[in-house]
Amino acid sequence: MSSTLGDVWTRAHGFLDEDLCERYSRHLLAGLDELHSRDIAHRDVGLGSCLLDPQTNVLKLSDLGLSMSANHFLLRA
């Protein structure tokens, strides 16, 4: 993964192709769904925690340093 979604967003001046946005959104939501299915709350989703592979246009969620058990997080909210 050679760049973040933030890098791509900056280079594109905030204008990304609609199909590419949909693809990235689907990948992000799939990643969050996987975490949530394992009762993990990411707690720091942002442009910098979305890594991109420019050859395949695959987005992966990273930076789980602030993540915690969703059950624990929800009980303390």
HEC profile of the chain? CCEEHHHHHHHCCCCCCHHHHHHHHHHHHHHHHHHHHCCEECCCCCHHHEEEECCCCEEEECCCCCCEEHHHHHHHC
CA distances from 33 to 8, 10, 51, 77 (A): 23, 27, 17, 20
Q: What is the pLDDT of residues 30-71, one digit of tens each?
A: 998 998 888 888 878 888 898 998 788 899 888 776 677 767
Can you give the pLDDT at residue 41? 83
Q: What is the pLDDT of residues 16-32, one digit of tens each?
A: 889 988 999 999 999 98
Residue 52 pairs in a beta bridge with: 3, 59
CA distances from 21 to 3, 8, 63 (A): 16, 11, 21
